[in-house]
Amino acid sequence: MGQAIHIFKKDVRHLRFEIAIAITVAALFAFIETKHALWPVDAVYSDTPASYLALLLLPVVWWMLIGRAIHDEALPGDRQFWITRPYSWRSLLSAKLLFILAFVNLPMLIAQMVVLHAYGFSIGAELPGLLWSQVLLTIVFVLPVLAISAVTTGFAQLIAGIVTPCVIALALASLKFKYQLFLFGITSVFVSGPGWVWSYLIFLIIAVATPAILLWQYRWRGTTVARCFAGTAWILVAMVFYLISWNTAFKISSVLSRQQVDLSATRLISDSSIRRPYMSFRQGGADVRVQVPFQLTGLPSGATARIEYLSASFQAPDGTTWNADEFSWENPDGPGQQLALMPSFHGGIYLTRNDVPVKVHGTLYLAVFGNPRTTQLPMGDHFVPVAQVGLCSARENYIGSSIRRNYLLICNSAFRSPTGLVSYLFGWSDQDISHQEIPGNFRPFIEEGQLSFSPFPADVRISPVSQEYTAFSDSMTRAFGDIQTFEPLGHIRLDFDVDLGKATMYGSNNNEKIRPWN
Amino acid sequence: MTDILRTIDLSKRFRNTMALDHLNMTVPEHSVYGLVGPNGAGKTTTIKILMNILQASDGTAEIFGRDSRKLSPHDFTQIGYVSENQEMPEWMTVEYFMNYLKPFYPNWDSARAAELLHQFDLPLDRKIRNLSHGMRMKAALASSLAYRPPLIILDEPFTGLDALVRDEFIAGVLECAEDATILISSHDLAEIETFASHIGYLDNGRLQFSEEMTSLTERFREIEITLANPVETSAAWPAAWLNREQSTTVVRFVDSHFDQTRTMAEVQGVFGAVQQINVSAMPLRAIFVTLAKAGRKAA
């Protein structure tokens, strides 16, 4: 241990400027986040570039620090002075890990505790999330850079080692999930719904590969073999979507999220009596978009469902099959639990030329929510604990000389997205005037995408607190805000099989149903 | 005398190049072993395998009787290693470098370290990156001698050093020669000759010979024969005669196994009566050039 401390002290002395930068950025991050916590309304109305800058800078300074520390005793090569000195590989590795713990993990832990405290969260109550967050941050931001640093000799090599596999992984992910990535962004794919299964598979690969690479390199300095380990790990990470299908991820997530209700009676019924299916064409008639209405039956009383994913394929009588390449949907709504699926496929020319009927087969993945709970928030500045969400506050916000009153509902969640559906209302006496789900008007697309079914107490995020808010404007005075949460009760997979008939049928029966895409 | 260093059928292949080919070499205790040979002969590769910097393709290398692949940190406290192309911690000052290394060596002799720094006239407060090549080599040597290692390995230490620095360097090494075993690889044969007790000649990854310096210098002689009459020799020349040159009445060669009586008998056997024979001792450099030329001809 003495030698490890000796090497550690040397690294501290050598990298004191880098350490100062890293600690300064961590302090800046804590300061900005704390400022948000103390003046949440300002934060809502002005997302400061400084906060984004701090979030961007933190990983960069961590990578710089880790790379510089490891490269101080670079492992590849045969000219380094230290390899012919009485270094113990255990001491060297311990010194480097101690350095990272001291100047990456510890400042981040302290910064997160400060931010949590500023937002009013109890450190004790959030301890599991706090510790798990450190584990995830280490896996995502520290271990890969540590592993790459151990098989490279300079910063240019390190950057190439980080960027190249990330670009490849992103390209592969976008091939697999181009529609989701386009609509929701990469984080949604990895966090929302069962997306955490892929995330944790990646974490597992990193958590296994990095110690193997480090042990191999520090023990044997076998750079070629270690680089092969790293390359294999990167390939596995890049291929993670292909290793585990959506269906498998859904099954794993469903098993681990504890089914609370019996959903065996739930059925998906073709609902053409109320709304008829229709087809529309685009791309000069090459692509077909289909809308198929359904009704969801057999849900437990008071429960509601949200579509997590949809897969569909289309088949002509001669066996020609097309897989849907884009999806959209309308979630079950209203007392009839009606929903609509809108997959698209590339078979328009075939259908119009051959005038054949087409069938659609598919699978719908649903999350079912229920057990609504309502928490009333008095108008004011203080935050109230809300189960499955975090701390929420309803307040009136004066902007300029507007005669309309502006109301703001802010919810802060620690370490992870809400685990259930959340909706809000601003109460006026005992009457409900407005009701809509949050996150509200500003980001409608992620409204349900941000739900995570991960059984772990934290998601990967640098900032420990995520803030969702919604604004409401009215000329009348509102007395309170209500937060209603619906907890996830279970997940269900439903297959469907619908005969759509001939494409021309839609055109001959109803000209409105067959039209160019616009 | 026990062997401090030993290689047994040591081979190293870099893709299609055989850098070392079944090398068998021993370095006796308390010897100053000069490992010489032309560029690419395998000297640095041999040393790097001995120091466990490179892995052998085949065979074994031993230091202190231990497989070099299993050298422990403790073993490295017994070895002083200086290489011409070693990457030093550029950001450290000379003083910090010495102080940094001190705790790694239980036998570190602070007085000796101070003496070496003074002897080499090293500026303590200067960063290594700001030192000249010669200064760096001296700093590396000082840091490798301060713990009085029983084994000192120097890989091409004289490359790029001016005469003054070279002298200082050699003086520093020689001060340890009595207590230590020294393996030194070098092109600088004139310097090696002044203090090496043993010499090994490596060419194309093979050890051509390895013997004591005195034996070597006694074995090689340049011989010039003046013949009484032009002679067409029919007898085969001994294989030990290298770099043979012949004009009508003058023959020159190097006898690599010189023995007064035997060589004279062989000369007589080949040329018959001769008018004059001049036998000259050879410096190491001349022996090295002879062997290098002979090796090229044979190839």
Q: Which residues of B touch A80 (CB under 8 A)?
A: 86-87
Rounded average pLDDT over A389-396: 87
Question: Considering CB atoms only, which of A6, A14, A77 is closest to B103?
Answer: A6
The predicted structure's pLDDT at residue B1? 62
What pLDDT band is residue A440 in, cutting at 50, 70 and 90?
very low
What pLDDT band is residue B234 in, cutting at 50, 70 and 90?
low
In chain B, whose CA is at the least distance from the CA of A86?
Answer: B73
Kind of pairing between the strands at A344-345 and A287-297: antiparallel
What single string gives the DSSP state of each residue in A36-88? HHHSHHHHHH---HHHHHHHHHHHHHHHHHHHHHHHHT--SSS-BGGGGS---
Q: Would the pLDDT of A379 be above 50?
A: yes
Mean pLDDT in chain B?
90
Which of the 8 DSSP states describes residue A139? I
Contacts 24+ apart (CB under 8 A), B9-17: B9/B58, B9/B59, B9/B60, B10/B46, B10/B49, B10/B56, B10/B58, B10/B59, B10/B60, B10/B61, B11/B56, B11/B57, B11/B58, B11/B59, B11/B205, B12/B42, B12/B45, B12/B49, B12/B54, B12/B56, B12/B57, B12/B205, B13/B57
| DSSP helix/strand/coil, A426 | strand
Place of tokens 């020294």: B182
The predicted structure's pLDDT at residue B297? 59
Q: Is A86–B89 a contact, with Cβ atoms under 8 angstroms apart?
A: no
| DSSP helix/strand/coil, A307 | strand
In chain A, whose CA is at the least distance from the CA of B101?
Answer: A85
Q: Is A3–B76 a contact, with Cβ atoms under 8 angstroms apart?
A: no
Amino acid at B146: A
Rounded average pLDDT over B66-72: 93
Render pLDDT for A168-187 as a digit per residue (tens, 0 to 9). 777 776 776 655 554 444 55
With a pLDDT cut of 90, the percent of chain B lying above it is: 60
Beta carbons within 10 angstroms of residue B245's beta carbon: 9
Q: Which helix (H) or strand (E) holds B227?
A: strand B221-227
Amino acid at B274: V
Contact of A224 with chain B, judged by CB distance below 8 Å, is answered with: no
Q: Would the pLDDT of A436 be above 50?
A: no
Which of the 8 DSSP states describes residue B39? T
Place of tokens 């300064």: A24
8 A C-beta contact, residue A480 and residue A428: no
Question: Considering CB atoms only, which of B74, B76, B100 is closest to A10?
Answer: B100
pTM above 0.90, yes or no: no
Q: Give the CA distances from residue A430 to residues A306, A404, A426, in Å, rounded to whole numbers and listed in that order.
A: 29, 21, 10
CATH class of B3-211: alpha beta
Render pLDDT for A40-71 as a digit per residue (tens, 0 to 9). 666 555 556 777 788 889 999 999 999 999 99
Nearest partner of B7 among B195, B214, B206, B211, judged by Cα: B206
Q: Is the ipTM of this complex over 0.90?
A: no
Q: Which residues of A touch B85 (CB under 8 A)?
A: 79
What are the structural domains, with CATH classification, of chain A?
A: 2-244 (no CATH), 267-369+492-513 (2.60.40), 371-487 (no CATH)
| DSSP helix/strand/coil, A157 | helix
Per-residue tokens: A290: 């289909």
In chain B, whose CA is at the least distance from the CA of A8?
Answer: B100
- Lowest mean per-residue pLDDT among A55-59, A258-262, A342-346, B240-244: A258-262
Per-residue tokens: A206: 């990193």
> In B, residues 136-155, which contact A (CB 8 Å cutoff)?
140
Nearest partner of B121 among B53, B172, B162, judged by Cα: B172
Q: Is B77–A81 a contact, with Cβ atoms under 8 angstroms apart?
A: no
* Helix B110-119 and helix B94-101, axial crossing angle in degrees, nearest 10: 150
- Lowest mean per-residue pLDDT among A57-71, A262-276, A497-511, B176-190: A497-511
Contact of A10 with chain B, judged by CB distance below 8 Å, is answered with: yes
- Minimal C-alpha gap between A25 and chain B (Å): 25
Nearest partner of A391 among A279, A328, A468, judged by Cα: A468
- Minimal C-alpha gap between B76 and chain A (Å): 5
d(CA B296, CA B3): 32
**Strand arrangement of the beta sheet that strand B241-246 belongs to:** B241-246, B250-255, B221-227, B274-281
The predicted structure's pLDDT at residue B51? 95
**Cβ within 8 Å of residue B141, ≥6 positions away:** B80, B82, B116, B120, B154, B157, B169, B172, B173
Rounded average pLDDT over B235-263: 88
Question: Considering CB atoms only, which of A72, A81, A86 is closest to B88?
Answer: A81
**Cβ within 8 Å of residue B168, ≥6 positions away:** B119, B120, B121, B138
Q: Which residues of B touch A10 (CB under 8 A)?
A: 100
Extents of the domains making up chain B? 3-211, 221-281
Render pLDDT for B38-66 as a digit per residue (tens, 0 to 9). 888 899 999 999 999 999 999 999 999 99
Mean pLDDT in chain A?
82
In chain B, whose CA is at the least distance from the CA of A82?
Answer: B88
8 A C-beta contact, residue A490 and residue A269: no
In chain A, whose CA is at the least distance from the CA of B81?
Answer: A84
Q: Is B104–A83 a contact, with Cβ atoms under 8 angstroms apart?
A: no
Compute the radius of gyration of chain A from its Cα atoms.
27
Rounded average pLDDT over A222-234: 92
The predicted structure's pLDDT at residue A28? 93
What pLDDT band is residue A445 in, cutting at 50, 70 and 90?
very low
The predicted structure's pLDDT at residue B9? 95
8 A C-beta contact, residue B150 and residue B78: yes
Q: Would the pLDDT of A450 be above 80?
A: no
Render pLDDT for B212-229 as a digit per residue (tens, 0 to 9). 999 988 999 999 999 887
- Lowest mean per-residue pLDDT among A105-119, A214-228, A314-328: A314-328
Q: Which helix (H) or strand (E) holds A342?
A: none
